[in-house]
Chain A
Amino acid sequence: MSQAEAAPVGAVTVDSVPVRKRIWTLGLFRSELVTTFRRWRTLALLAVLAGVPILVGIAVKIETSGDSPAAGGGGGGPAFIAQITNNGLFLVFTALAATLPFFLPMAVGVVAGDAIAGEASAGTLRYLLVAPAGRTRLLLTKYAATMTFCLVATLVVAATALATGALLFPLGDVVTISGTRIGFGEGLVRALLIALVVAASLVGIAALGLFVSTLTNSGIAAMATTVGLLITVQILDQIPQLHAIQPYLFSHRWLSFADLMREPVYWDDLVKNLGLQGLYAAVFGSAAWARFTAKDITA
């Protein structure tokens, strides 16, 4: 018997035993991106996000095309909304300010919550692990793909807003919050910078969602929990009595991105926000790792 199998085993060994040195090949990451962005669900989330700036743009256009161009808004509108009619570029800032509190993090919560738990409920997790994807590698890949989704989702909002703004309103020099004037090109750079900061603001909830995703074998439960946590945190952030803990809520300094529209830029809150996102990523990333690498995969 050992004679009989010596030949084929030998052949296999020569061909493929050199388990290639590059453990961290990008193949899995690429596959993860393809798998994520080919899903109908992902595309639907992006479509909803793209719809927000279009709707805001049309609403502002209709509102102001009447005889009262200096309406000034009902007071409670998103930041920058009053300036859109003068400069379509402001639709980018408005759309990001409008989607950051809920639509964007909700979309990220869905993708992050589903990351591991969705594979578990489909049963595909066990096949990825026996492939063998490696638990740490798979988790890192999932996190990287989720962060890519954060970036893509934010850029979709920004790009749609820019296109809508350019179509419906004039473009031109930008008046900053501080009252100074910057050229349109400089304004575009600021817009891109703001989009990047908004994407980075989602790093915290992405890590939280990934952690939740390692706790259950139900994709739906993980997504619902993550979105539920988002809503809870947003509510807690509104209760004045809780001001002591509010600086530690991941959403507390989200709107600090507006400080990029000051001249000179006011960095204090921006840095605090990014630091907090990093802290969430470290804490919940480690928790997810500890949980996932020790977990029995029975689904």
Chain B
Amino acid sequence: MAASTAGESVIETRALTKRYGGGQLAVDGLDLTVPAGSVFGFLGPNGSGKTTTIRMLMGLIAPTSGAARVLGEPMPRATRTVLPHVGALIEGPALYGYLSGRDNLIRYDSADPAADPRTRRARVATALDRVGLTAAAGKKAKAYSLGMKQRLGLAAALLQPRRLLVLDEPTNGLDPQGMREIRSLVRELASDGTTVFLSSHLLDEIEQVCTHAAVMARGRLLTQGPVAELAAGARGRLVVTTPDPGDAARVLKERGVADLTVTDDGVTGEPPAPGTDLADLNAALVAAGVRVRGFGVERASLEDAFVALTGEGFDVAG
């Protein structure tokens, strides 16, 4: 049974590499492990190789070298047995404009030899309902808005109960309301136990919905792991809010706090070394007559982690 061979990881790649015909090295020695049951954020700026990785996982393109396993089976060799359990949205939806939304889903469902034709209409109706397109099901797909197309694409991924959902930038081009809808749908699906592999170039999206994440840049994997650990990997900031920032900075400096930044209403700096108790630091400030309004270490965000990893901001294009 595929379930037992899959073990703990739903996706596993080893030194996965893709060089396109044009010579572009798009994915370079990727070792990715996606645990079962996770909502896995695949994060990276545009051009970092996310879509290329997903194409290899789905058997659409052959790796130049390395190997990929999905649900425990080698890809692209096992597409026929693996893909019926996988729903995918790759590089945006693609629809037959001259067919209705419902007929588009019927077409995609007919393409799956594992799908039972007797339950087709019912499953299509359920999928349409799930993404809120029941009312528009009879309209030609070319008349759909981008958000509706995106939702119809999601519905195609939900035609069967899936063990893995692969969503490549599912909120691309959507307005904030559309983004919220897709995210809540993703959460709902994940709570059913489906593993979700979600690529995005938006940090906050990953932080909002994902339990795990991997960070890509220029085709290489920078890091992967539970989101909480990734953020913890980067050091937070010591933040002191006070009407006496000058005095506070002097005291902190005497106590060995580095990288101080003074603002109008406070001071920030590197958190003290593990040996120093934060309480002592605070007491020292108060003893020196600094009026402390707030004191603490702010948890690092995923963005801090990213900046720490790359030494640059997140908006760099590949």
Contacts and interface: CB of A to CB of B under 8 A. Distances in A.
A8 B164 CA distance: 12
B60 interface: yes
B84 A19 contact: yes
A13 B193 CA distance: 13
Contacts of A126: 55, 58, 60, 90-91, 94
B85 interface: yes
Interface in A117-153: 122-124, 126-134, 137-138
A132 B103 CA distance: 18
Nearest to A25: B113
Contacts of B88: 127, 130
Given A2-B36, A130-B60, A9 B80 contact: no
> Which of B3, B35, B116, B117 neighbours the largest number of chain A CB atoms within 10 Å of its CB?
B3
B193 A31 contact: no
Interface in B73-115: 79-81, 83-86, 88, 90-92, 94-99, 103, 106-115
Interface stretch (A35-43, A77-85, A216-224, A261-269): A35-43
Contact of B80 (A15, A23, A30, A39): A23
Contacts of A40: 98
How big is chain A's contact interface, by range? 35 or more
A16 B99 contact: no
A9 B3 contact: yes
B94 A127 contact: yes
Contacts of B114: 16, 19-20
Contacts of B199: none
Given A12-B163, A13-B3, A19 B111 contact: no
B268 to A, nearest CB: 36
Given A123-B94, A297-B55, A133 B162 contact: no
A31 B106 contact: yes
> Which of B81, B110, B112, B160 neighbours the largest number of chain A CB atoms within 10 Å of its CB?
B110
A130 B61 CA distance: 11
Contact of B98 (A16, A24, A28, A38): A38
Interface string B158-174: 00111100000000000
A16 B113 contact: no
A296 B62 contact: yes
A132 B91 contact: no
> Which of B38, B114, B117, B194 neighbours the largest number of chain A CB atoms within 10 Å of its CB?
B114
Nearest to B86: A130
A27 interface: yes
B195 interface: yes
A62 interface: no
Interface in A204-254: none
Contact of A23 (B35, B62, B97, B113): B113
A10 B38 CA distance: 17
A11 interface: yes
Interface in B104-137: 106-117
A24 B114 CA distance: 10
A110 to B, nearest CB: 16
> Which of A2, A24, A132 neighbours the largest number of chain B CB atoms within 10 Å of its CB?
A132
B80 A130 contact: no
A122 B36 contact: no
> Which of A5, A23, A124, A296 neighbours the largest number of chain B CB atoms within 10 Å of its CB?
A5
A10 B3 contact: yes
Given A9-B193, A12-B162, A28 B84 contact: no
A9 B36 contact: yes
A176 B202 CA distance: 76
B181 interface: no
Q: Which 4 A-B pairs have the closest CB atoms?
A: A123-B94, A8-B193, A5-B37, A31-B110
Interface of A: 1-2, 4-5, 7-13, 15-17, 19-20, 22-25, 27-28, 30-31, 34-35, 38-40, 122-124, 126-134, 137-138, 294, 296-298
Given A1-B37, A134-B79, 18 more contacts: A1-B35, A5-B195, A8-B161, A9-B163, A12-B163, A13-B1, A17-B3, A19-B81, A19-B113, A27-B110, A30-B110, A124-B95, A127-B90, A127-B108, A129-B60, A130-B58, A296-B55, A298-B20
